[in-house]
Amino acid sequence: MLNGIFDTVLGYTPACDVLSLAITIAVLILLRVSYVSKSKSFMYFCMMLASLLVASVTNLLHYRVLTDHSASMKTVGYICYIVHSFALLFFMFDFLLYMLEPMLLDRKSYKRYAFAGFWICVADLVVVICGVVFGFGHVIHDDGTVTDEANPFLLAYVFMTALIVFVMVHYRDHLVKQLFNGVLFMMALAVLLIFMQINFGQRSFTVASFGLVTLAILFLVHSNPFDITTGAVGESAFDDMIADGYKKHKDIMVMSLHLPEFDSHTRMPSEITNLIRAMSTQYLKGAILFRIAGGRMVLAFHISKNPAYENGMNRMLLRFEDEYAHFRFDYKIVIGQTEEVLSRDNKYLTFLDFVESRMMINDVKFFEKDDVETFIRHEQILEEIKDIHKKSNLNDPRVLVYCQPVLNVATGKYDTAEALMRLSLDGIGMVYPDQFIPLAERYHLIHTLTLIILHKTCRMIRFLDENDYDVKRISVNFSVREFRDASFCSEVLSVIDSTEIMPKKVGVEITESMNENDLPILKSKINELKEHGMTFYLDDFGTGYSNLERIMELPFDVIKFDRSLVLSIEKTKKSATMVDSQAQMFDELGYKVLFEGVEDENDEISCKRMHAKYLQGYKYSKPIPIEQLTEFFEKKGAD
């Protein structure tokens, strides 16, 4: 009897709604156990699922109560029908909002479409309720059969579908192509299903047809597949976890493992992925593993869920070191707690790179607030340097020239000096070379800074010349990589020319950390500038590995002995002899030897004994603003 009603009289079989219900519940459970970003879109998606749940339950209930012919059951039937209609309308409205979200419309357009959808749903609901109350819509007869005199829901369905399709097509440039195609295709399939069921006098497939669209979205947007070997999820999921933690003020512990050898798409061996997978679930509750590009894995967990996390973390590190001894791949581990300044725009990946660049290989570093502050400062400095580069103003007031006068041993006077760069930045203050030269070099911004220093130095030389000071030259520090640029020489010469001084008044200091391939280019560029009379200094001789053969290849004029050599003279007789013989060799080969970092009387005496032609260091002067050089240089003709 029961089946008879469902099948023949109503054209309804509960099988489809039971299946929809089961699938909806299954999806909800899967979303719970997998890692899905808790974005606004996801919230809409969950509401869509909830609507489906309610729609299928009420539909099942509606037809179930029809078997009971009592008057009160009829009321329940009507209520179920109304709630069912409401759930489906709510689903459509929610779906509209869902699709509007990634389109990033302006407020006015967004409101227009959202309101249109809202009013279609409200109007339809009113008609559905009136239809029930006044008997022109859904009617439940005393014998348990139903008739639909009119089907207002179908009208709303058509309107809403048309509205959503219109918005999607109209703004298709705003949508990811795969989402556009996938959703549109599923909608077409759903509409087809609805009209086919009408054609066949069926009612069973309504909820299931809505489920199709939901599946499309789930598959395209919210599935975040686990890597089958490590159990990790992708990088965007890491962004989401950080954003969620920031919004809800939850402290998250971040553990990063970087294996630099796997930077270039090389797969990690299975022993490592197995170890990582095992460890990521074993020691910490609710920890999520993220796979980041460039051989990095990040394990993150909420501190609130792991009150005794230190214990778990330490056990994990011990196990790692233990097992990792067999693999012998280089690694760097960085661990620490989220900080608001980093979480706001998720700067963790840049931050981790930064921390790693300052630590040893095969080491573990726990970062602290201090590291975060240093990093933020670095970021600010980098922004400023980028801006200086963008404006390329040779008079940029943020770039300051300091100078250190150099003593000419033969005359006992100061007639040369070295220009040293400083930055004066708003909100940061004075910044010294160790904090910005490496940064400027890494981002290829150093050349702009050099040209500014060169320009300002040349202007000072011109001022000293015009005021009769006896200034032989001022040397400027260059980075070797600047020489690679084809227009290097012409740019340098044009800056010097623009200040109308002679190029021979400018010295160039470079360090010997050159690579083999650069040598011929470097040599030709140095020769080109030397033809204009410029003097070349080899900076920092004695730090690191000095390749004498290579040094001799290049036409340097002055060899700057690093302060470390000055210190070593005073340490042992043996090192004194070594420094002495090197200085003597350069002297005999026609180079001029300059000792850097002469701090006191003792240093001076030792250096003078070692063929020093020039002396530079705190004994004579700390670096001073370039304008103060007038206190050291003498006027021509003065004795």
**Which is closer to ligand C2E, CB of 453 or CB of 501?**
453
Q: Is 477 in the site for ligand C2E (CB under 6 A)?
A: yes
**Which is closer to Ca ion, CB of 281 or CB of 564?**
564
Where in 75-104 is the site for ligand C2E (CB under 6 A)? Answer: none
Q: Residue 616 CB: number of other CB atoms within 10 A?
A: 24
Query: Which does residue 234 touch among Ca ion, ligand C2E, none (CB within 5 to 8 A, set by kind)?
Result: none
DSSP code, position 147: E
Instruction: Choose the binding region for ligand C2E from 5-13, 71-79, 161-169, 445-453 (rule: CB under 6 A).
Output: 445-453
Cα gap 40→83, rounded to integer Å: 25
**Which is closer to ligand C2E, CB of 565 or CB of 598?**
598
Total chain residues near ligand C2E (CB under 6 A)? 22
**Which is closer to ligand C2E, CB of 288 or CB of 453?**
453
Cα gap 261→330, rounded to integer Å: 7
The CB-of-419 to ligand C2E minimum distance in angstroms stands at 6
Choose, by CB under 6 A, the member of 125, 254, 453, 464 that binds ligand C2E.
453
Tell me, what amino acid is at 475? Answer: S
Q: Residue 75 CB: number of other CB atoms within 10 A?
A: 12
Which structure tokens are listed for 231? 């159990």
Cα gap 324→275, rounded to integer Å: 9
**Is the distance from CB of 431 to CB of 412 less than 8 angstroms?**
no
**Is the distance from CB of 139 to CB of 66 less than 8 angstroms?**
no
Cα gap 116→109, rounded to integer Å: 11
The CB-of-624 to ligand C2E minimum distance in angstroms stands at 10
Q: Is 433 in the site for ligand C2E (CB under 6 A)?
A: yes
Query: Which does residue 618 touch among Ca ion, ligand C2E, none (CB within 5 to 8 A, set by kind)?
Result: ligand C2E
Residues facing residue 365 across a β-bridge: 334
Where in 403-422 is the site for ligand C2E (CB under 6 A)? Answer: 404, 420-421
- CA 93 from chain center: how many Å? 36
**Is the distance from CB of 562 to CB of 540 less than 8 angstroms?**
yes
Which structure tokens are listed for 203? 């009612």
Alpha-helical runs (H) found in 8-70: 15-33, 40-65
Query: Which does residue 256 touch among Ca ion, ligand C2E, none (CB within 5 to 8 A, set by kind)?
Result: none
Q: Is 211 in the site for ligand C2E (CB under 6 A)?
A: no
Which structure tokens are listed for 3? 């089946």
**Which is closer to Ca ion, CB of 37 or CB of 477?**
477
Q: What are phi and psi of 366, to 5 degrees?
A: -95, 115
Choose, by CB under 6 A, the member of 302, 563, 611, 613 that binds ligand C2E.
563
Query: Which does residue 433 touch among Ca ion, ligand C2E, none (CB within 5 to 8 A, set by kind)?
Result: ligand C2E
Bridge pairing between strands 332-337 and 363-366: parallel
Q: Is 590 exposed, middle or buried (0-12, 13-18, 19+ CB in 10 A)?
A: exposed
**For the window 523-562, what string marks contact with ligand C2E as x by the rule CB under 6 A?**
----------------xx----------------------
Alpha-helical runs (H) found in 267-347: 270-282, 309-327, 340-343
Choose, by CB under 6 A, the member of 597, 604, 612, 613 that binds ligand C2E.
597
Q: Is 389 in the site for ligand C2E (CB under 6 A)?
A: no
**Which is closer to Ca ion, CB of 226 or CB of 620?**
620
Binding site for Ca ion (CB under 5 A): 477, 509, 539-540, 596
The CB-of-455 to ligand C2E minimum distance in angstroms stands at 12
**Which is closer to ligand C2E, CB of 329 or CB of 618?**
618
Q: Residue 397 CB: number of other CB atoms within 10 A?
A: 7
Query: Which does residue 276 touch among Ca ion, ligand C2E, none (CB within 5 to 8 A, set by kind)?
Result: none
Tell me, what amino acid is at 246? Answer: Y
Q: Is 439 in the site for ligand C2E (CB under 6 A)?
A: no
**Which is closer to Ca ion, CB of 187 or CB of 508?**
508
Instruction: Choose the binding region for ligand C2E from 330-338, 361-369, 382-390, 594-602 (rule: CB under 6 A).
Output: 594-602
Q: Is 443 in the site for ligand C2E (CB under 6 A)?
A: no
**Is the distance from CB of 422 to CB of 432 less than 8 angstroms?**
yes
Cα gap 507→304, rounded to integer Å: 61
Q: How far apart are the first and last CA of the chain?
A: 126
Query: Which does residue 405 touch among ligand C2E, Ca ion, none (CB within 5 to 8 A, set by kind)?
Result: none
The CB-of-459 to Ca ion minimum distance in angstroms stands at 20
Query: Which does residue 617 touch among Ca ion, ligand C2E, none (CB within 5 to 8 A, set by kind)?
Result: ligand C2E
H and E: helices and strands count for the chain? 22, 17
Instruction: Choose the binding region for ligand C2E from 190-198, 329-337, 462-470, 477-485 (rule: CB under 6 A).
Output: 477-485
- CA 32 from chain center: how many Å? 28
At residue 432's C-alpha, the angle toward residues 431 and 438, to 5°, is: 105
The CB-of-441 to ligand C2E minimum distance in angstroms stands at 8
Instruction: Choose the binding region for ligand C2E from 102-110, 111-119, 277-285, 431-439 (rule: CB under 6 A).
Output: 431-439
Where in 485-524 is the site for ligand C2E (CB under 6 A)? Answer: 509
Q: Is 479 in the site for ligand C2E (CB under 6 A)?
A: yes
**Which is closer to ligand C2E, CB of 353 or CB of 599?**
599
What is the DSSP annotation of 198-242?
HHTT--TTHHHHHHHHHHHHIIIII--PPPTTT--B-HHHHHHHH
Q: Is 432 in the site for ligand C2E (CB under 6 A)?
A: yes
Q: Is 475 in the site for ligand C2E (CB under 6 A)?
A: no
At residue 583's C-alpha, the angle toward residues 579 and 589, to 5°, is: 150
DSSP code, position 140: E
Q: Is 617 in the site for ligand C2E (CB under 6 A)?
A: yes
Q: Is 618 in the site for ligand C2E (CB under 6 A)?
A: yes
**Is the distance from CB of 78 to CB of 133 less than 8 angstroms?**
no
The CB-of-607 to Ca ion minimum distance in angstroms stands at 14
Which structure tokens are listed for 100? 């509007």
Query: Which does residue 450 touch among Ca ion, ligand C2E, none (CB within 5 to 8 A, set by kind)?
Result: ligand C2E
The CB-of-420 to ligand C2E minimum distance in angstroms stands at 4
Q: Is 423 exposed, middle or buried (0-12, 13-18, 19+ CB in 10 A)?
A: buried
Query: Which does residue 420 touch among ligand C2E, Ca ion, none (CB within 5 to 8 A, set by kind)?
Result: ligand C2E
Query: Which does residue 211 touch among Ca ion, ligand C2E, none (CB within 5 to 8 A, set by kind)?
Result: none
Choose, by CB under 6 A, the member of 214, 230, 256, 450 that binds ligand C2E.
450
Which structure tokens are listed for 591? 């180079």
Query: Which does residue 437 touch among ligand C2E, Ca ion, none (CB within 5 to 8 A, set by kind)?
Result: ligand C2E
Q: Is 507 exposed, middle or buried (0-12, 13-18, 19+ CB in 10 A)?
A: buried
Residues forming the site for ligand C2E (CB under 6 A)? 404, 420-421, 432-433, 437, 446, 450, 453, 477-479, 509, 539-540, 563, 597-599, 617-618, 623
